[in-house]
Each structure stands twice: as structure tokens, then as C-alpha cells.
Amino acid sequence: MKRLRINALTSDIIISFYVIVTLYIRFKLESETATDLFESLVMGICFIVIIWALIKLKVLNPGWFGLFNSKKAKP
């Protein structure tokens, strides 16, 4: 069975968008409702676990925008 694999640049864009959207949701929800520290931490951990699982399953393959490129440039 062939798995869905997303290339590095697209994965980086999806992860960046996901982080921005989840932070917006958290800040908006916390400002509108009375949430305490524990609820905020649980929500943040749940959002992190979702993205971690997608990376661990190799659906997302982040290239970290080329910051940690393991290939050495040949002269």
C-alpha cells in the first residue's frame, strides 16, 4: 500500500500554516472563554501531538526550510 508523502517544501509550508492557525485558535479561544493553565497546556499538547504524529508517520517530511541541510556542497 502506497502512503501519502508530501515533499519538504510543501511540508514546511503546511507546518508553518498549522502553527499559525493553532496559535490563533488558542489565543482567540482563551481570550473569549475563561480557561485556566491546565486547559491551555492540554490544548497545546494535543496540537503538538497531531503534527508530531504526521511527521512520525512520514506523511509530512519537513526540510526545515533548508536550515539543517545534511548534504555538503561540493566545490
Average pLDDT rounded to a whole number, residues 8-29: 92
- In the predicted model, what is the mean pLDDT of the chain? 86
CA distances from 37 to 16, 26, 34, 48, 63 (A): 25, 12, 10, 17, 33
CA-nearest of 53, 55, 30, 31 to 42 is 30
Is residue 24 over pLDDT 60?
yes
11 pLDDT band, cuts 50/70/90, is very high
What pTM value is reported for the model? 0.78
Instruction: Supply φ then ψ for residue 24, to 5 degrees.
Output: -60, -45
CA distances from 67 to 4, 37, 41, 53 (A): 24, 33, 29, 22
Q: What does the pLDDT look like over 32-55, one tens digit per residue?
A: 988 888 988 999 999 999 999 999
